[in-house]
Amino acid sequence: MNARLLLVISPLVLCPAVQAQTDTSPLQPLFECRGIADDTARLTCLDAAVEALYGETESGEVVAVDREQIEAAEESTFGLSIPNFTIPGLGLRGGDRNEELVEADATAQSPDRVVRRNDDGNIERIEGLAVVDVEINRADHVVVTLANGQVWRQTDSTMVQGVRSGARPGLTANIRSGMLGSYFMRLNNGGRWFRAERVQ
């Protein structure tokens, strides 16, 4: 079943996110009712539109989620390549490009992390991610496990100085997106950026 998704931005404000077969919002019938001048006709239109929307939510065709859930999903999928999967951009709030997320689990894992977004509202960098383990694989590439469960592996030949296998308290990572779906990581030990891919 193809479900349409609604994002709850504030208690009474909804916007369309993913539509399987159409470019129109599932809220369009409600919006169209606003243009009816006659009070009785407008109320009749609104009642019908609300009833239809209620039926779609009951059947699961339309699902409502809040901004924090979408932000958490964006962060948890950062670096993954999933064919035909997109998360709708939320745009920016108040024109601020830097946003510190407050989702409870992620904050507990990396309380000082900061998510930086571009002008389109898409994540371009995550800073201050807590590192729980580092390994050096057979190719002498660094493999970094983050507190949020993500695992990233170095893919270039950059010499990552001051890194050895094992856990190291206080170690954090910054990850930024590059061109053509590439990603770069830098650890807070003063080393250089190195190309990395998410493997888990």
Identify the CA nearest to 135 among candidates 173, 164, 158. Answer: 164
* Residue 35 exposure: Cα atoms within 13 Å on the Cβ side: 4
What average pLDDT does the segment 161-170 reach?
81
CB 197, CB 183: distance < 8 Å: yes
In Å, what is the CA distance from 167 to each residue of 138, 151, 155?
18, 14, 21
Does 167 or 2 have the greater pLDDT score?
Answer: 167
CA distance 148 to 27: 35
Asked if the model's pLDDT at residue 191 lies above 80, the reply is yes
CA distance 124 to 71: 13
- Tens digit of each residue's pLDDT (9 = 90 or more) over 53-107: 989 888 888 877 777 777 777 777 777 765 555 555 544 444 443 444 334 455 5
